[in-house]
Structure 1
Amino acid sequence: MNSKRIRISLIAGTAAVGMIALSACSAAETKSSGDGDEITLAQPNWAGAEANIAVAKKLLEDELDVKVDVTQMNEAAAFKALDGGKADALLEDWHGNPNELKTYVDKKKSVVSAGELGVQGHIGWYVPKYYADKHPEITDWKNLNKFAKDFKTSESGDKGQFIGADPEYSQHDTGIIKNLKLDFKHVPSGSEAAQQKEIKRLYAAKKPFLTYWWTPQLLQNQIELVEVKLPEFKEGCNEPADQADCGYPQVDLEKFMSKDLSDGGSDAAKFLKNFKWSNKDQDAVVSYMKVDGMKSDKAAEKWIKENKSTWEQWIPKK
């Protein structure tokens, strides 16, 4: 693995993730054969990951007659499942679990890269634009302590509140706060939905807030956020997380699959390796789901109907 491994977390999600129905025949019950006739896709808990799965599942089933099961799990659990034959592929990894990558990709070699997803992700610290317009200095982390009092809440006491992400997301914000000696308290949001709800509440009230957030994320189309520049990310600067003293990088999101599936040469494996789309494509499906209220399969169907020239390149040639 190269320096791309340095990822952070989560990222491409939006609002509460709608659960894709799980098959009654869960892959967690039987070890994958790797033949590609029936596969299990691991779905992390954010909307971008849901969009990937929805489109891949429909095309695999409709175009290649592959039976697809879907099970929700975070990235770390997904690597273990790929190693143990409980899942076959993970379509969006942000390189936020270096231990799992070292164990299963580098050492055991039971999990292999399936190539880049085509989506670029970035995590950072953000404040609302209306606050940055009044206090332009806030966009440099060195000035955060000057304004900490503006971010105090009942939960943060005498410190400014930093709105943290879902605890399952890979992150090193508590390390940043401690090691950069920032006068802020990390307050976890509990979930992406809860975090987004709180951000929208504060934004509507025109109150200041400092939060972990990421792109691509549909929220940026609804409200204006400005990134606070943190120290430049360098490989290893966030390991271990409690010693982190840097920000987050731009990440080319990556796909992974079990070595058994990859080596099997099935149409399913070829399709998953070919599956590559843009931030714009993923955002479109997320918008259908989270703005238009479409179920994931219907959102996938709409995107597929409108983008044949993109997805037909993913179908293995006979």
Structure 2
Amino acid sequence: DGGVQGWWIPKYIADAHPDIKTIPDMLKHPELFPDPEDPSKGAIFNGPQGWGGTVVTSQFYKAFEAEKAGFTLVDTGSAAGLDGSIAKAYERKEGWVGYYWAPTALLGKYEMVRLDYGVENDPAEWKRCNTVADCADPKPNAWPVDTIVTLVAKPFSEKAGPEVMDYLNKRSWSNQTLGGLMAWMTDNQASGEDGAKHFLEENKDIWTKWVTPEAAAKIEAAL
């Protein structure tokens, strides 16, 4: 899936309102995402100052004319504040919309749906204005997906052999799978070794495709 950033809404809101698929769709419904300080307005929750995603969200707020649509932009102040706003909304089954990213433990615990943008990504516009805090005229844009790869040193690749490199080339999983694992590790205060074992025990349909049948049999026997 890659590293995904953007504006998200709870899945229960998306399920109840299937017409909300994009940011422009969401902006038609401030009543579904009330501002805790002023319920007559909608609220878009932003990250803390210093984050690149916070800058982009502020620029998207202007570009998509969210204020005109009846929304305020909420500064959550910290990562904990942002996480807490999602947890509070989810536990109360209330509306929430704002910035977040995946894969993360939080989105592994609370199922969220990322809004589309209604436009394609324009790299030039992204660089010119969407990522520049003091740019006065941002235009609607789509958040690009960050590529996530496995890197190894050349000497390692030469010594490892074809079976190991074939495994590394095949190894991949969805953000949902990784987020769920991260959430389990957080809830259980698990170590990396604990997390790896849990993944192997719970996701045989995924990892057995990465290795030979002989290797899969040995791994299963060791669990």
Settle same-fold status: TM greater than 0.5: yes
Is 1:213 matched up with 2:95? no
Q: For the residues of structure 1 that align with 2:145 and 2:101, how far apart are their CA atoms? A: 10
1:278 aligns with 172
SS across alignment from 2:6:
strand
Tell me by how many angstroms 1:229 deviates. Answer: 2.1
Per the TM alignment, residue 210 of structure 1 is displaced from its structure 2 partner at its CA by 0.7
Deviations 1:249-278 (A, max 9, x none): 333224679xxxx6xx5549988xx66642
Q: Distance in 1 between matches of 2:12 and 2:103?
A: 21
Q: Name stretches of at least 5 consecutive residues in structure 1 with no aligned partner.
A: 1-118, 312-318
1:295 alignment partner in structure 2 = 191
Matches of 1:309 and 1:126 in 2, distance apart? 31
Match of 1:177 in 2: 61
Cα distance in 1 between the residues matched to 2:185 and 2:76: 23
2:146 to 241, 247, 251: 251
Letter in 1 for 2:5: I
2:150 and 2:49 map into 1 onto residues whose CA distance is 23
Does structure 2 conserve the Cα–Cα contact (< 8 Å) formed by 1:152 and 1:158? yes
1:229 equivalenced with 2:111 (yes/no): no
| Larger relative helix fraction | 2
**Deviation for aligned residue 1:303:** 5.9
Give the corresponding residue for 1:3: none
Q: CA deviation at 1:126?
A: 1.8
Pairing partner for 1:143 from 15, 25, 28: 25
Deviations 1:264-303 (A, max 9, x none): x5549988xx666423574475245213221345435766
Distance in 2 of aligned mates of 1:303 and 1:126: 26
Counterpart CA distance in 1 for 2:73 and 2:25 is: 18
Alignment counterpart, residue 12 of structure 2, candidates 118, 130, 153: 130
Q: How does 1:1-318 map to 2 (within 5 A)?
A: 120-155=2-37, 159-171=41-53, 172-183=56-67, 184-230=71-117, 231-239=119-127, 240=129, 241-242=131-132, 243-254=138-149, 266-267=155-156, 277-280=171-174, 282-283=178-179, 286-296=182-192, 298-300=194-196
State the alpha-carbon separation in 2 of the partners of residues 285 and 197 from structure 1: 20
Distance in 2 between residues matched to 1:301 and 1:133, nearest whole Å: 34
CA distance in structure 1 between the partners assigned to 2:193 and 2:65 by the alignment:
47
**Structure with more of its chain in strand, by fraction:** 1
Aligned-partner residue type, residue 28 of structure 2: K
Give the secondary structure class of the aligned counterpart of 1:279: coil
The TM-score, its normalising length taken from structure 1, stands at 0.46
Alignment check: 8 A CA contact 1:123 1:213 kept: yes
Aligned to 1:33: none
Q: State TM-score, norm by structure 2.
A: 0.62
Q: Are the structure 2 counterparts of residues 293 and 310 from structure 1 closer, same or farther at C-alpha, using a change threshold of 3 Å?
A: farther
The CA distance in 1 between the partners of 2:91 and 2:25, in whole Å, is 25
- Could you report, residue by residue, the CA deviation over 1:10-64 in whole angstroms, capped at 9, with x for unpaired residues? xxxxxxxxxxxxxxxxxxxxxxxxxxxxxxxxxxxxxxxxxxxxxxxxxxxxxxx
